[in-house]
Structures are given as structure tokens and as C-alpha cells.
């Protein structure tokens, strides 16, 4: 099994204050992303089997503060409604067999039946609120450019070693790149809409940077390879071969019991503190580049570790990350303003969700009506 890293990596930005709840109108019929959260016991076992050096700690990755993973049925309805005006619309055929054709309208009706009470209305609210943001963006003359969207994606992509790990993270959360881009498109537009109102000063941004400096820093990282053996005696025998001049990568391929790294000569790529189990991490970070450890016992077996590279911690200057700081500051301020803003905009755009049940006060019970009371008294 190919070595994977993203699912057990620590989230370097886990305390970032911009990770806040989005208004309920856009959060309806959805669940917050917990990136690569393993819930099944057998999945945990499989992960440990393929990544025996890594700790079993789980964290969520820093997605946009408004990104949500839609319930599958609701997401499908969203796509159907969104694309309904394209091509042949509701009459477009999406499935067929001898004597039967299934249209988008048929599929929409069937999926709607499977939604719990209120979910269809909630999903329509989500769609309408996104359309409302689009309308307001056009009115305000702001757009989310390809460069804007790609910059946001790059910010989240950097938490993964490869494009494959990033794609796997999206897939495991029911996301696609297209859905992620749609969500980022809305968040960027909102940021630009609110920027003239919030108008952060340089002093505010500098304070935000100082308060959250760790989020913009890259911690110390090392790159290491290891050979994992089931017994101490076997590990000592391999260590003896290494001391005689045997090639580390060759022995890893031949002897290591770690399926996730052995085919790569034991290479674990770069990692920071808090990623590996404690005995492994302690031993690895003490080594110099090119140095090989003795036998290291961990809960997973017996390791021989070789450090192949090190990257020192880097803290960028405020000026070099000012745009990112401003974006993050705006994102941290917008959620507190959204409800009032949405209420105002709904009135401006004469917002009506016709799938929502009428309020109880709008339909008085017969016994509460004056005519009913008069009739009862006759």
C-alpha cells in the first residue's frame, strides 16, 4: 500500500481564529468538515498498519471558514437546481433503459422524497444565499479571479505532501475540487464585499499577525528513513549490517515490515514534531543529517532511523505575508457581521423560499379566529 501522510499530519494552523461558523442559511443540510477523520475502528487499524511510525492523533485541516461538506442527497439536489437552466433543463435525460427514460426532473422528485422535513427548504436556502452573494458581488463590482481561487487552494494544498494526498482528503470528506472552488469563490467575494466596511488599519493587521504569528511560520522539519523490524534481535542484526557498510535503502526494501515506506527505501518524507509516535520522534530529532540511530523501540516495533535532511523553522516578516494576514483578518471579522447583513440583503432582494413552511402566526388555528368563536357562541 502506498505511503500516505496527510491523514495523520498535525494541523499547523489549528488555532487559527478565522475558522468560524458560517451563517445557518448557508450551513443548512450540511456538516462541518473534519478532514480525514477516521471513525471506523478497522480504518484506524489499517492506518496504523500502513504507518507504524505515526501517531494516531487526528486533526482537521484548515479549510476556508465557510467550507461545508453537504449531505449527499442535498448536494445532488443542489447540482440539479443549479444546472436546471442549462442545456435541456429539467427534461434532460440522465438515465435510460429499454422503454424507460429518467429525466433531471424525475431524479429531483425522487431525491426530494428522501429528504427529511425541512431539508429541501434548507438546501434551497443554501443555494439562494449563494446566488444572493453573486448578485451583491456584481452590484459591488467585485469578482473572485482565478488567481484568487488558486491562491486559496494553494494555502490548503501546502498541508499535504502530494497532490494525491490532497485529492484523497477531498474525496474522504465528500468534496470535489469543483465544489471546493465554488465555496472559495463565495468566500472571496464576501471578503471583497466586506473589505470597504471593515477597513482594517495597518496597526490592526500587525497586531493580528503578532497574535497569530505561529500560523504564518513553518516549524522545524526533518526528513528521515527507517527500517522497522518486529523483534529487537532482528533490528540489531540489520544495524550490524549497516555498520559494515550495507546500503540503508536496500536493506529497508528487503527487511522493513512497514508497507508504507519500504518500497521507497524507508523514506518517510518531511515531518515536524507531533506527527510520529514519541519514542520515534525523540530519537529522530536528536540525529544530525546523515546520521543513523541505534535500535529504537516504539509501540509499533523496533526502528532504525536515518535522517537525510533538515529544514530550520522559518518565520516570515509581516510585510512578506501582509496580504494573507489581511485576508485572514477579514475572514475572522465577517462571521460576526453576516446575520445582520443577510437580513438586510434578503429584504433588498425580496427573498422568498417557497419551500419553507409558513410561520404558525400566519395561519391561525380555527379555534383562535374571531369568526370561529362567534359561531361557537351561537
* Residues 132-184 pLDDT 10s: 999 999 999 999 999 999 999 998 887 776 788 888 888 888 788 888 898 89
Q: Which helix (H) or strand (E) holds 222?
A: strand 221-229
Q: What pLDDT, on the 0 to 100 scale, is given for residue 361?
A: 43
pLDDT, tens only, 236-266: 999 999 999 999 999 999 999 999 899 999 9
| Pairwise CA distance, residues 378 & 376, whole Å | 6
Q: What pLDDT, on the 0 to 100 scale, is given for residue 91?
A: 82
Burial of residue 306 (CB within 10 Å: 0-12, 13-18, 19+) is: buried
The distance between the two most distant Cα atoms of the chain, rounded to a whole number of Å, is 110
Contact indicator for 115, 74 with CB cutoff of 8 Å: yes
3-state secondary structure (DSSP) of residue 163: helix
Q: What pLDDT, on the 0 to 100 scale, is given for residue 155?
A: 86
How would you write the pLDDT of the chain (378 residues) with one tens digit per residue? 333 333 323 333 333 333 334 444 443 322 333 333 333 334 444 444 445 666 433 333 334 433 333 334 445 555 555 554 444 567 888 899 998 999 988 887 887 777 776 777 888 888 889 899 999 999 999 999 999 999 999 988 877 767 888 888 888 887 888 888 988 999 999 999 999 999 999 999 999 999 999 889 989 999 999 999 999 999 999 999 999 999 999 999 999 999 989 999 999 989 999 889 999 999 999 999 999 999 999 999 999 999 999 999 999 999 999 999 999 999 999 999 999 999 999 999 999 988 886 544 444 444 444 444 333 333
Task: Give the number of other Cβ atoms within 10 Å of residue 137's Cβ.
Answer: 19
Please report which residue ranges of 199-334 form alpha helices under DSSP H: 202-211, 213-216, 232-243, 248-255, 278-286, 322-333
Which of 190, 187, 118 is CA-nearest to residue 353? 118
116: alpha, beta or left, given left = phi > 0 and alpha = psi -120 to 50? Answer: beta
Q: What pLDDT, on the 0 to 100 scale, is given for residue 291?
A: 97
**DSSP letter string over 107-129?**
HHHHHHHTSPTTHHHHHHHHHHH
Q: What pLDDT, on the 0 to 100 scale, is given for residue 243?
A: 96
Q: What pLDDT, on the 0 to 100 scale, is given for residue 162?
A: 74
pTM of the model: 0.66
Task: Give the number of other Cβ atoms within 10 Å of residue 267's Cβ.
Answer: 18
Contact indicator for 294, 232 with CB cutoff of 8 Å: no
Q: What pLDDT, on the 0 to 100 scale, is given for residue 246?
A: 97
Q: Which helix (H) or strand (E) holds 229?
A: strand 221-229
Which of 311, 314, 315, 316 is CA-nearest to residue 221? 311
Q: In whole angstroms, how far apart are CA 87 and each of 80, 105, 138?
A: 12, 13, 24
Contact indicator for 185, 147 with CB cutoff of 8 Å: no
Q: What pLDDT, on the 0 to 100 scale, is given for residue 65?
A: 36
Amino acid at each position: 500500500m502506498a505511503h500516505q501522510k496527510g491523514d495523520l499530519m498535525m494541523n499547523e494552523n489549528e488555532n487559527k481564529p478565522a475558522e468560524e461558523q458560517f451563517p445557518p442559511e448557508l450551513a443548512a443540510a450540511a456538516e462541518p468538515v473534519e478532514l480525514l477523520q477516521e471513525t471506523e475502528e478497522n480504518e484506524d487499524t489499517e492506518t496504523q498498519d500502513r504507518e507504524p511510525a505515526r501517531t494516531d492523533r487526528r486533526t482537521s485541516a484548515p479549510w476556508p471558514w465557510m467550507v461545508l461538506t453537504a449531505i449527499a442527497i442535498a448536494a445532488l439536489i443542489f447540482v440539479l437546481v443549479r444546472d436546471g437552466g442549462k442545456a435541456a433543463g429539467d427534461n434532460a435525460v440522465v438515465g435510460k433503459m429499454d422503454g424507460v427514460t429518467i429525466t433531471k426532473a424525475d431524479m429531483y422528485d425522487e431525491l426530494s422524497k428522501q429528504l427529511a422535513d425541512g431539508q429541501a427548504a434548507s438546501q434551497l436556502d443554501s443555494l439562494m444565499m449563494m446566488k444572493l452573494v453573486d448578485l451583491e458581488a456584481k452590484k459591488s463590482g467585485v469578482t473572485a479571479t482565478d488567481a484568487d481561487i488558486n491562491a486559496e487552494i494553494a494555502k490548503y494544498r501546502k498541508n499535504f505532501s502530494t497532490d494525491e494526498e490532497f485529492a484523497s482528503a477531498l474525496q474522504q470528506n465528500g468534496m470535489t475540487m469543483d465544489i471546493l472552488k465554488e465555496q472559495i469563490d463565495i468566500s472571496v467575494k464576501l471578503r471583497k464585499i466586506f473589505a470597504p466596511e471593515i477597513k482594517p488599519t495597518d496597526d490592526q493587521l500587525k497586531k493580528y499577525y503578532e497574535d497569530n504569528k505561529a500560523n504564518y511560520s513553518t516549524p522545524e522539519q526533518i526528513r528521515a528513513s527507517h527500517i522497522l523490524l518486529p523483534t529487537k534481535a532482528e533490528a540489531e542484526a540489520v544495524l550490524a549490517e549497516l555498520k559494515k557498510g550495507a546500503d540503508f535503502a536496500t536493506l529497508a526494501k528487503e527487511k522493513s515490515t512497514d508497507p508504507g515506506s519500504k518500497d521507497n527505501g524507508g523514506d518517510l518524507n518531511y515531518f515536524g514534531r507531533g506527527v510520529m509516535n514519541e519514542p520515534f520522534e525523540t530519537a529522530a530529532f536528536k540525529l544530525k543529517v546523515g546520521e543513523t540511530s541505534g535500535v529504537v523501540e516504539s509501540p509499533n516495533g523496533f526502528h532504525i532511523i536515518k535522517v537525510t535532511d533538515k529544514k530550520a523553522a522559518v518565520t516570515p516578516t509581516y510585510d512578506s505575508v501582509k496580504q494573507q494576514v489581511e485576508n485572514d483578518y477579514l475572514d475572522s471579522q465577517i462571521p460576526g457581521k453576516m446575520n445582520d447583513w443577510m437580513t438586510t440583503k434578503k429584504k433588498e432582494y425580496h427573498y422568498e423560499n417557497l419551500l419553507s413552511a409558513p410561520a404558525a402566526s400566519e395561519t391561525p388555528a380555527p379555534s383562535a379566529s374571531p369568526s370561529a368563536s362567534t359561531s361557537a357562541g351561537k
